[in-house]
Amino acid sequence: MAKTYDYDLFVIGAGSGGVRAARVSAAHGARVAIAEEFRVGGTCVIRGCVPKKLLIYGAHFAEDLQDARRFGWDVPDCKFDWPVLRDNVLAEVERLEGIYGEILERNEVEVIHQRATVSGVNEVTLADGTKVSAGTILIATGAWPMIPDVPGAEHGITSNEVFNLDTIPKRAVIAGGGYIANEFAGIFHQLKSDVTIVNRGDRILRHYDEQVRDRLLQISLTKGIKFLFNAPFEKIEKKAEGGLVIHLAGQDPIEADLLLWAVGRVPRTPGLGLEEAGVKLGKNGAIEVDEDNQSSVPSIYAIGDVTDRVQLTPVAIREGHAFADTIFGGKPTRVDYENIPSAVFSHPPIAGVGMTEAEARERLGSVKIYTSDFRAMKNVLAGRNERALYKLVVDGENEKVVGIHMIGPDAPEILQSAAIAVKAGLTKPQFDDTVAIHPTMAEELVLMR
């Protein structure tokens, strides 16, 4: 006789990926429970991309209000009230958390508001000591902000805490050169902070196309954001009267009111009991899985940031859905990781899909590059010299567009549609054959010659 368990599936972690896997598995008829020690919704909804995007919208009004005067609006000097924006964002997060809970309830997924750890290949132990069994265990605990091993590092905060600040700092130092660092640099700068990005390396956004990331650096410097490269942290001191003194190798000390650590995220596996259960972990504690999200233990699977494959919410959701369809839906499905679009909601935003120019030259040899370097119509009338840059990377052998990279207003919104063309393998002549919508910024994608 087949062994019976308390649940067919037990999910640890109720973020975007875990929730999708749980509800779809339940819809396929599985008996599902999901455990979450903090709040349903995970990093993206509670303390990640959703509240951050709302802060970006709020910060962008600083320039919008200035630009409005050039368009004929009599805009008085406006006062910004941080607690109003903060509290409205947190209220929206709470609303979304409720929606996630309702989705699980409608699909008859049992939600357990406790920490859960793996105590056997088919067993989970809850924080209150209760042990439950499951035919399949899915780990979807995501990733956690990394804090470097530097004396005084505890005086800084991470993206987990930044949404609950009492006040906007007058002087903000942001450690890191990735998307979180550049996005919060834009937010704080627009809200009148003096911002310095400190990076131990020599470049920002190293996975993005070089021309695009260089354009962001130029624009950010013009706006007044400062950058220090090749500057490792030595120690952080907290002053008795408040504020921080940040010591860097080869640099003068910096005084700041806030230090934000944005130096990367590591898979959240410590203390889960995975190694004791026989689950193989890779670098940074990431769970090693195969193409079907299965770990080295046949009954234990993992999806999302905890696997450290592609740390993007939409990827975690795809993986969760594929897992559910494969294991409980009788529809074997695997995620295609080629040509995943991504964006940085910096100021201005950048977006890209496919190969960068450097990657294409290394992999393909024969490459054609098309660019459009222009000022958006709105910026022209507003008197802003800020220029957008669009770039097509084309395979010289077959004219296939293998990469699109952009910086400028609404770049992520435009790229979402353009990414379909790259995924579909469309060619540069097909782009050229498409009639432009005029006047738009997006028309530049089909006008490059």
Is 183 among the annotated ligand-binding positions?
yes
Task: Reduce the DSSP state of residue 353 to 3 states and report it.
Answer: strand
In degrees rounded to 5, what are phi and psi of residue 204?
-100, 155
**Residue 352 region by backbone torsions, left for phi larger than 0, else alpha for psi between -120 and 50, else beta:** beta
Pair 332, 43: CB distance under 8 Å = no
Element (H, E) at 21: helix 16-27
Helices (H), 202-303: 210-223
Selection from 232, 234, 190, 254 nearest residue 61 by Cα: 190
The amino acid at residue 196 is T
The rounded distance, in Å, linking the Cα atoms of 254 and 196 is 9
Is 378 among the annotated ligand-binding positions?
no
Catalytic-role residue among 60, 113, 405, 438: 438
Residue 200 half-sphere exposure, CB side, CA atoms within 13 Å? 12
What is the side-by-side order of every strand in the sheet holding 388-395?
342-344, 350-354, 401-407, 388-395, 367-374
Is 176 among the annotated ligand-binding positions?
yes
Is 178 among the annotated ligand-binding positions?
yes
Beta bridge partners of 118: 124
Task: Reduce the DSSP state of residue 344 to 3 states and report it.
Answer: strand
> Does the annotation mark 438 as catalytic?
yes
Q: How many CB atoms lie within 10 A of CB 197?
A: 25
Is 290 among the annotated ligand-binding positions?
no
Is 179 among the annotated ligand-binding positions?
yes
Is 284 among the annotated ligand-binding positions?
no
Quote the Cα angle for 311-316-322, to 5°. 140
Is 137 among the annotated ligand-binding positions?
no
List, as one string, the DSSP characters of 418-435: HHHHHHHT-BHHHHHHSP
Peptide bond into 409 cis (omega under 30): no
Q: Residue 250 is encoded by which pair of tokens?
A: 């080869």
Pair 361, 373: CB distance under 8 Å = no
Q: For the CA atoms of the chain, what is the radius of gyration?
A: 24
Q: How many CB atoms lie within 10 A of CB 1?
A: 3
Distance (Å) of CA 19 to CA 40, 102, 135, 319: 8, 11, 18, 11
Is 317 among the annotated ligand-binding positions?
no
Is 180 among the annotated ligand-binding positions?
yes
The rounded distance, in Å, linking the Cα atoms of 139 and 308 is 13
List, as one string, the DSSP characters of 57-122: HHHHHHHHHHHHHHTT--PPP----HHHHHHHHHHHHHHHHHHHHHHHHHTTPEEE-S-EEEEETT
Is 254 among the annotated ligand-binding positions?
no
Question: Residues forming the annotated binding site for FAD?
Answer: 53
Question: Residues forming the annotated binding site?
Answer: 53, 176-183, 264, 305
Catalytic positions, written as ranges? 438
Question: Residues forming the annotated binding site for NAD(+)?
Answer: 176-183, 264, 305
